[in-house]
A and B are shown apart, each in its own frame.
Chain A
Amino acid sequence: MADITKLTIAQTLDCLKNKEFTSTELTQAYIKSMEDNRDLNAYVLETPETALQQAKISDEKYANGTNRTLEGIPLGIKDLFCTKDIRTTACSHMLDSFIPQYESTVTSKLFNDGAVCLGKLNMDEFAMGGSNENSYFGPVINPWHKERKLVAGGSSGGSAAAVSANICAAATGTDTGGSIRQPAAFCGVTGIKPTYGRCSRYGIMAFASSLDQAGPIAKDVRDCAILLNSMAGYDTKDSTSVNIPVPDFEKALGSSVKGLKIGIPAEYRPQGLNDEIASYWDKGIEILKQAGAEIVNISLPHTKYALAAYYIIAPAEASSNLSRYDGLRYGLRVNGNSIDDMYTNSRSAGFGKEVKRRIMVGTYVLSAGYYDAYYIKAQKVRRLIKNDFNNAFEKCDVILTPTSPVTAFPIGDKSMQENPINMWLNDIFTVSVNLAGLPGMSLPVGLSKDGLPLGLQLIGKSFDEETIFKTAYVLEQEAKFERLK
């Protein structure tokens, strides 16, 4: 059984139930895969002892017939989720010795359903970035053509790379402006950012609280549905989680898209859009048309302002959230002559370049005299973006777009290193979804001429992940994307 790490969660659960291999054997195979793939830098902490203890319990549960829904499934956990007694750093020097005393709601739900924790996954520091190059632990290498040293995307770069390279069965991610969907697209895997409020944010280190959502990154659409079933749900510990029933997302798979209205936004096809990306988008449209869906042209007129609004709102919230890192209660402390010196020394030593940049931009746009001109203005534009989606969803049920205007680019790309705005422009197709709080999924549909994965994005109505799952499943069946072997 050399290839058990290549199975999907659905396949693995069947094998475990049929006793084709044990949970311990499965976990050992993944531990071996972690060791063999250390060159990718996907994990910042491996927890093989914890994993094997959990696997042993899973084997007992299978033996006595009390197995839970994710019994024995080995997961990688993005290092933004607090895991009790397991070091959690947000990939920041600020927190490189932080040991949470409690468990995030999402990870506790997964582990209570029987999942096994393989370790903590690399990411951009505090989830700020789109290439994983902002990690204190160094960039993740994209498993596709790893000799070319391409980025895995970000911020959940470790999650997407680990799933793609079969170093975990699936992973948790978080998405503030595209941090699940863009790395999933770059690495040829599937990821969904659910509706804001669907998953609890409790125990996830906050970046921009009105935008952050947790979600799964997995090998296929079905696995995303299985995981989201476990991760979603109301939580009294997160006042923004929404108290509505969670449907069984897996049940949405396989139902027909006949008569479903697929919105195609004109603004997502700007002049100069990469030809290959445009042609895979057309292919996706064709697949859905063939399956009986109706294609509807829609307009999201404020799309071009989404990035500017996002890069005011997200840094504003970040500057506020990250003020908690004061060298006092947790995290790095560098002493000084006064308490203010201590704050400044600790924060200056603890945060990386991009985090400092965003804290300062956020501080500026919230400061006296500029608050109305920038922050309030951006929140007004945000409403216009949300209104655009409301209007579009009068005419369609789900929206299909590319996930990213580019494929994975080389680590250390000069234009992006020299001008941060060039990096931020890559988020053009994903940030609106966060600003409007909608669910969005990326799934791989093909390879570019130079062999790199391309993803399409499905955007759904608020709390209608089911239509996304249903549509994605049809696309997946027809696109027949081949995962890395």
Chain B
Amino acid sequence: MAIDTQTVIKIASLSRLKIDEDKVEATKDEFNKIINWVEQLSEVDTDGVEPMFAVNDTQLACREDMVVEGNQADKILKNAPIAEYDYFVVPKVVE
């Protein structure tokens, strides 16, 4: 199925990415090329095949619900572009 410019703009917005207006058309063409190429999977008969999300059949391990490493707010905030009073700073969200 062909992807239109509206869809490209919507996908960019869901991805939180900006596409310059003059690039929308080219992005749409490239997107269609890629999606048409992966469409070849429709040739494969997958009736009754279980999807495989993980390669090893291991169970996730459980552990006691306890703090293993704590009290490191300074380390956690170390790479924050803006931090104040031990918090990450976001643009104002409440009027």
Residues in A lying within 8 Å of B, measured CB to CB: 97-99, 101-102, 196-197, 210, 236, 239-240, 242-243, 302, 305, 308-309, 311-312, 319, 323, 326-333, 335-345, 347-348, 351, 356-357, 359-361, 363-365, 367, 374, 376-384, 386, 419-421, 435-437, 462
Name the contact of B18 in the complex, choosing from A309, A348, A382, A420 (C-beta under 8 A).
A348
Q: How far is the CA of A351 from the CA of B17 in the complex (A)?
A: 9
- Of A339, A348, A420, the residue contacting B34 (CB under 8 A) is A420
B88 touches A329 (CB 8 A): yes
For residue A365, which residues in chain B have a CB less than 8 angstroms away from its CB? 38
Residues on the A chain within 8 Å of B49, using CB? 380, 383-384
Please state if A383 and B41 are interface contacts (CB–CB under 8 Å): no
Cross-chain pair count, CB within 8 angstroms: 159
Cα–Cα, bound, A435→B88 (Å): 38
Asked whether A312 lies within 8 Å of B53 as measured between CB atoms, the reply is no
Pick 24 A–B contacts, CB within 8 A, sort by A.
A236-B63, A311-B38, A319-B15, A328-B81, A329-B80, A330-B79, A330-B80, A333-B81, A339-B93, A341-B91, A343-B16, A344-B17, A347-B15, A359-B17, A360-B15, A361-B31, A364-B11, A367-B11, A367-B14, A374-B41, A380-B46, A380-B50, A380-B52, A383-B51
CB distance from B32 to the nearest CB of A (A): 11
Contact across chains for A99 and B79 when beta carbons are under 8 A apart: yes
Residue of A nearest to B51 (CB): A379
Interface status of B6 (Cβ within 8 A of chain A): no
Q: Is the CB of A242 within 8 A of B15?
A: no
Bound CA span A339–B89, Å: 10
The residues of B that contact A338 with a CB separation of less than 8 Å are 91, 93
Interchain CB contact under 8 A, A381 and B41: yes
**Most A CB within 10 A of own CB, among B3, B7, B33, B51:** B51
User: Chain B's interface: helix, strand, loop or mixed, by majority?
Assistant: loop
Contact in complex: B40, A308 (CB < 8 Å) = yes
Specify which of A329, A360, A437 is in contact with B12 (CB 8 Å cutoff). Answer: A360
A233: min CB distance to chain B, Å: 15
- B60: CB under 8 A from chain A? yes
B67 / chain A contacts, CB cutoff of 8 Å:
none
What 0/1 pattern do residues 47 to 90 of B give for CB contact below 8 A with A? 00111111110101101000000001001101111100000101
Given A360-B31, A380-B50, are A335 and B91 also a contact pair (CB < 8 Å)?
yes
Specify the chain B residue showing the minimal Cβ separation from A210.
B54
* B61:A363 contact, CB within 8 angstroms: no
CB distance from B70 to the nearest CB of A (A): 14
Note all chain A residues with C-beta closer than 8 A to B15. 319, 347, 356, 359-360, 363
How many residues of B sit at the interface, in one of the four size bands?
35 or more
Per the 8 Å Cβ criterion, residues 15-38 of B in contact with A are 15-18, 27, 30-31, 33-35, 37-38
Chain A binding surface SS class:
helix
Residues of B within 8 A of A331 (CB): 79, 81
Q: How far, in Å, is A194 (CB) from chain B's closest CB?
A: 12
Contact of A360 among B11, B50, B56 (CB under 8 A): B11
Give A362 Cβ to nearest chain B Cβ, in Å: 8
6 nearest A-B pairs in the assembled complex, by CB-CB distance:
A437-B55, A379-B51, A333-B81, A330-B79, A383-B52, A380-B46
Expressed in whole angstroms, the minimum distance between the Cβ of A81 and any Cβ of chain B is 16
- B13 to chain A: closest residue by CB: A344
Are A421 and B16 in contact, CB atoms less than 8 angstroms apart? no
Q: Which residues of A contact B13 (CB under 8 A)?
A: 344
Contact A363 B34 (CB under 8 A): no
Indicate if the CB atoms of A344 and B16 lie closer than 8 Å.
Answer: yes
Quick check: A377 and B18 within 8 Å, CB to CB? no
- Residues from chain B with a CB closer than 8 A to the CB of A197 are 55-56, 58
CA of A365 to CA of B38, assembled, Å: 10
Given the contacts A333-B82, A420-B30, A381 and B17 also touching, CB distance less than 8 Å: no
**B35 CB contacts on chain A under 8 angstroms:** 361, 364
Interface contact A356-B58, CB-CB below 8 Å: no
A293 to B18, CA, bound (A): 56
- B17 CB to closest chain A CB, in angstroms? 5
